[in-house]
């Protein structure tokens, strides 16, 4: 089967090519899949998309008209895909149902530690041979109250690391995770978690019910010196409200690996032309904010698992089989 893979990162490409060698024909593109780039897939029965693809009804219609049968997305999240439109067009859609949860949990803690100990500012100063400690005062993680919003596989991994630091654990989810309870986590309502936690980390999926879960009201409940970490989906946080919170001098640290308007910006080089998103531009100017470009999943282990699952999705489709990764099964 001939496959066109969109949004392929330089470090990802050799792994993809190795996985598909001798099995399927593969062409890799660094551009993202959207309504403008969809015509490139004409004649390809399968396309593989990245998390920043825009697979709305119009894009899907272009793919279907060009002969595409299968969309194999290389991510767990699928809020960027119009599944109803795909079903109406007879397109099969598959995702990667899971990969190393440690990759995201570890990156979330990397962000938390970096903003807490002002590592970005310290590293920048050191390059200029400025070795003062002014403005670099952090806090012990040990003894903090850590709020974990979403206690699935990734949230559980995050909580295990938190327990290792010696923290008090609060959790919020629709269901209690027995493994988190064994760590001593106390489940509570979201307002209480936000008001008590010194550090809050988000690990829930982006759904209509969780869109802007952390809005102005939620931010107002948080401690003035709290740390907020989001390595899940950008739409969980109302970015404009976050800017206003920071402008008011609140929150001692914010680590964001995702941003609600990241599509078309993250994974690209905007160092010359800059960006037109005023909210993102303002966020990165705050000294206590660290933004990374949706790289929490980007470890050799996790990317390898994502590629293996994507290859299996394509193999199964070619053989007429269904598997647990299907979002829109083959007719």
User: Are residues 146 and 276 located together in one domain of the fold?
Assistant: yes
35 is catalytic: no
Residue among 12, 69, 156, 262 flagged as catalytic:
262
For residue 6, the domain's CATH number is 3.40.50.720
Same domain? 15 vs 91: yes
Compute the distance between CA of residue 228 and CA of residue 112 in angstroms, rounded to an integer.
8
Q: Do 228 and 309 fall within a single domain?
A: no
Q: What is the pLDDT of residue 79?
A: 87
Q: What pTM did the predictor assign?
A: 0.92
Average pLDDT, the chain: 96
> Domain count of the chain?
2
Do 139 and 65 share a structural domain?
no
Q: Is 304 exposed, middle or buried (0-12, 13-18, 19+ CB in 10 A)?
A: middle
Same domain, yes or no: 89 and 127:
no
Concerning whether 106 is annotated as a catalytic residue, the answer is no
Q: Are residues 324 and 311 in the same domain?
A: yes
What pLDDT digit, counting tens, does each position of 91-140 carry? Answer: 999 999 999 999 999 999 999 999 999 999 999 999 999 999 999 999 99
160 is catalytic: no
**Domain shared by 109 and 257, yes or no:** yes
Kindly report, residue by residue over 290-312, the tens digit of the pLDDT. Answer: 999 999 999 999 999 999 999 99
* Residues 163 and 67 placed together within one structural domain of the fold: no
Rounded Cα distance between 2 and 18, Å, is 15
| Residue 63 and residue 210 in one domain | no
> Do residue 91 and residue 155 come from a single domain?
no
Q: Which of 118, 233, 260, 317 is catalytic?
A: 233
Q: Which of 95, 121, 196, 294 is catalytic?
A: 294
b/e map 225-256, b = 16+ CB within 10 Å: ebbbbbbbbbbbbbbbbbbebbeeebbbbbbb
Print the domain residue range for 44. 2-99+299-328
Residues 284 and 311 in one domain: no
Residues 307 and 205 in one domain: no
Give me the pLDDT at residue 330, please: 81
CA distance 41 to 323: 24
């Amino acid at each position: 089967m001939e496959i066109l893979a969109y949004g392929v990162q330089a470090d990802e490409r050799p792994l993809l090519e190795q996985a598909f060698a001798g099995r399927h024909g593969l062409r890799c593109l660094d551009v993202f899949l959207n309504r403008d780039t969809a015509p490139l897939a004409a004649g390809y029965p399968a396309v593989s998309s990245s998390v920043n693809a825009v697979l709305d009804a119009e894009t899907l219609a272009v793919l279907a008209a060009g002969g595409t049968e299968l969309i194999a997305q290389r991510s767990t999240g699928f809020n960027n895909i119009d599944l109803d439109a795909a079903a109406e067009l007879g397109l099969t859609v598959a995702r990667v149902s899971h990969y190393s949860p440690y990759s995201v949990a570890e990156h979330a803690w990397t962000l938390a530690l970096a903003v807490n100990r002002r590592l970005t500012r310290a590293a920048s100063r050191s390059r200029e041979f400025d070795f003062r400690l002014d403005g670099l005062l952090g806090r012990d993680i040990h003894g903090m109250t850590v709020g974990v919003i979403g206690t699935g596989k990734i949230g559980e991994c995050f909580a295990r690391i938190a327990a290792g630091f010696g923290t008090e654990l609060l959790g919020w989810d629709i269901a209690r995770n027995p493994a988190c309870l064994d760590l001593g986590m106390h489940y509570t309502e979201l307002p209480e978690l936000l008001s008590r936690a010194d550090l809050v980390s988000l690990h829930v999926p982006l759904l209509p019910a969780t869109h802007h879960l952390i809005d102005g009201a939620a931010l107002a409940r948080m401690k003035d010196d709290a740390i907020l970490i989001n390595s899940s989906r950008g739409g969980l946080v109302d970015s404009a409200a976050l800017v206003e919170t920071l402008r008011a001098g609140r929150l001692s640290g914010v680590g964001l690996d995702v941003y609600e308007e990241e599509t078309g910006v993250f994974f690209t080089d905007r160092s010359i032309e800059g960006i037109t998103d005023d909210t993102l531009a303002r966020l990165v100017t705050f000294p206590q904010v660290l933004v990374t470009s949706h790289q929490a999943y980007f470890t050799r282990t996790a990317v390898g698992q994502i590629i293996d699952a994507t290859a299996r999705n394509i193999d199964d489709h070619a053989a007429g089989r269904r598997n647990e990764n299907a979002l829109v099964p083959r007719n």
